[in-house]
């Protein structure tokens, strides 16, 4: 089993950080690269002319490796919402059809379609959060609902951000293909941990950022665009997206035809000297460990937590319906007030999401972390200290 990678991070021993699904700490290598990059930005005359493009392609290749894509299928973007807006510009939704989203999914794969629906004449159908936690069956039932208008698109997260519910994207993709519908996957909480193979799955779009599970900075994200959509118009009109619009040319607008691949969808002002390399390092580290080793370790940690809290009167989703790296605890009558803050005062960091406690360990966590969490949670749930937290 992959051992804990705590030594690769600057995390004090008294800190139990179980909140990777919000923000991950940065590895030491990434912190060092960031400091060096700030220095380069402070002295831009030291940069070679090819430096920016080398960074772009390093990050593009790192992102492609994580999902078994080709670098030419990856666009450099700043956020999930940017990627969804790009997809919406590429992919027209037919009038009289449905776009399927998840109840309480994050805003990014949902709001774009809600905003467009009335004017463009399609309906947004929300798959209700299932009582039994089986998101996959609920999504399939929505896609295959008898007598419903045809589905144009499913725009969903592969792992539900609030409860860690796992969606079987292979089954969903198969159901959508039978209807000739498109598939947009917000892979924020799966890329780098769960295996994603776009060559086998064949989705239309896959979007993921680096600041959570990929151990990178905020503001760096990536958009996979299937080759069948490479002819679409990008969200922004940039020189880098055209075949030959270059400042060093004698004629600036030498060839304004788009480049032929997903690079045309790159964001404007993409020369992020500081954060682009930082993003690459985290992705390369994750790829180096490999998804099987990462998921084995994180599943061990979340199951150890689940075993430890079973006697505390909390609700735990079935292991086969939740992501192996995210554990959501439900409390009868709702989460006690001040519980998350009380845990933080004891050095234990988790998140409150839609009335549940979300616990999300990463490779820097070890058995001592999860045992400390179980002990502190038990003490606060059983003892009087919670009321004063």
Query: For each successive 10 residues of the chain (389 residues), what is the average pLDDT?
Result: 97 97 98 95 93 96 98 98 98 97 96 98 97 96 96 98 96 97 98 97 98 97 98 97 95 96 97 94 98 98 97 94 97 93 97 96 98 97 55
With contact defined as beta carbons under 8 Å apart, do 294 and 323 qualify? no
- Domain-terminating residue out of 287, 315, 331: 287
- Domain-terminating residue out of 230, 259, 287: 287
CA distances from 14 to 17, 92, 346 (A): 10, 52, 9
* Residue 92 confidence (pLDDT): 93
323 and 274 within one domain? no
217 and 149 within one domain? yes
CA dist., res. 111 & res. 186, Å (int): 13
Count of structural domains, the chain? 2
344 and 205 within one domain? no
219 and 104 within one domain? yes
Give the CATH number for residue 11. 3.90.1150.10
CA dist., res. 143 & res. 123, Å (int): 13
Residue 68 forms part of a structural domain:
yes
Residue 370 forms part of a structural domain:
yes
* Residue 155 confidence (pLDDT): 98
| Domain with 97 in it | 30-287
Residue 1 forms part of a structural domain:
no
* Residue 382 confidence (pLDDT): 87
- Domain-terminating residue out of 287, 321, 350: 287
279 and 381 within one domain? no
183 and 58 within one domain? yes
Residue 54 forms part of a structural domain:
yes
Which residues make beta-bridge pairs with 154? 100, 183
End-to-end CA gap in the chain? 38
Query: Token pair for residue 334?
Result: 């709702």
CA dist., res. 190 & res. 135, Å (int): 15
CA dist., res. 389 & res. 383, Å (int): 11
371 and 253 within one domain? no
Give the CATH number for residue 236. 3.40.640.10
Residue 66 forms part of a structural domain:
yes
Residue 148 forms part of a structural domain:
yes
3-state secondary structure of 232: coil
CA dist., res. 306 & res. 300, Å (int): 10
* Residue 284 confidence (pLDDT): 98
* Residue 130 confidence (pLDDT): 94
* Residue 384 confidence (pLDDT): 53
264 and 215 within one domain? yes
* Residue 386 confidence (pLDDT): 40
Could you please report the per-residue DSSP string of 285-344? HHHHH-HHHHHHHHHHHHHHHHHHHGGGTEE---GGGB-TT-EEEEETTSPPTTHHHHHH
With contact defined as beta carbons under 8 Å apart, do 136 and 143 qualify? no
- 53: which residues sit within 8 A by CB, 6+ positions away? none
195 and 309 within one domain? no
- 240: which residues sit within 8 A by CB, 6+ positions away? 259, 263, 266, 270
130 and 117 within one domain? yes
* Residue 342 confidence (pLDDT): 96
Residue 152 forms part of a structural domain:
yes
233 and 98 within one domain? yes
349 and 230 within one domain? no
Q: HEC string of 81-135?
A: HHHHHHHHHHCCCCCCCEEEEECCCCCHHHHHHHHHHHHHCCEEEEECCCCCCCH
């Amino acid at each position: 089993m992959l051992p804990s990678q705590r030594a690769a991070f600057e995390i004090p021993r008294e800190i139990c950080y179980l909140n990777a699904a919000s923000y991950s700490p940065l590895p030491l290598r990434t912190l060092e690269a960031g400091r060096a990059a700030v220095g380069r930005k402070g002295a831009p005359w030291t940069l070679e002319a090819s430096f920016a493009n080398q960074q772009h392609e390093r990050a593009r290749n790192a992102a492609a490796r994580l999902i078994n894509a080709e670098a030419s299928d990856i666009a450099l973007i700043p956020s999930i919402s940017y990627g969804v807006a790009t997809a919406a510009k590429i992919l027209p939704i037919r009038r009289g059809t449905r776009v399927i989203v998840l109840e309480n999914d994050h805003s990014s794969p949902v709001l774009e379609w809600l905003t467009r629906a009335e004017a463009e004449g399609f309906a947004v159908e929300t798959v209700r959060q299932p009582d039994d936690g089986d998101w996959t069956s609920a999504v399939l039932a929505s896609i295959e609902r008898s007598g419903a208008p045809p589905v144009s698109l499913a725009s969903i997260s592969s792992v539900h951000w609030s409860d860690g519910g796992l969606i079987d994207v292979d089954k969903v993709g198969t159901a959508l293909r039978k209807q000739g519908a498109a598939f947009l996957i917000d892979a924020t909480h799966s890329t780098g941990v769960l295996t994603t193979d776009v060559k086998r799955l064949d989705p239309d779009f896959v979007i993921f950022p680096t600041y959570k599970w990929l151990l990178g900075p905020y503001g760096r994200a990536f958009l996979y665009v299937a080759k069948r959509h490479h002819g679409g118009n990008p969200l922004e009109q940039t020189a880098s997206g055209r075949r030959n619009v270059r400042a060093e040319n004698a004629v600036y607008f030498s060839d304004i035809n788009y480049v032929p691949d997903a690079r045309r969808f790159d964001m404007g002002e993409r020369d992020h000297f500081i954060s682009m390399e930082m993003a690459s390092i985290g992705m390369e580290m994750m790829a180096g460990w490999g998804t099987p080793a990462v998921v084995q370790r994180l599943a061990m940690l979340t199951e150890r937590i689940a075993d430890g809290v079973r006697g505390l009167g909390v609700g735990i989703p079935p292991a086969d319906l939740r992501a192996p790296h995210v554990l959501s605890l439900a409390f009868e009558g709702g989460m006690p007030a001040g519980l998350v803050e009380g845990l933080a005062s004891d050095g234990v960091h988790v998140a409150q999401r839609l009335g549940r406690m979300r616990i999300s360990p990463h490779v820097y966590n070890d058995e001592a972390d999860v045992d400390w969490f179980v002990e502190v949670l038990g003490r606060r749930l059983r003892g009087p200290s919670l009321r004063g937290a």
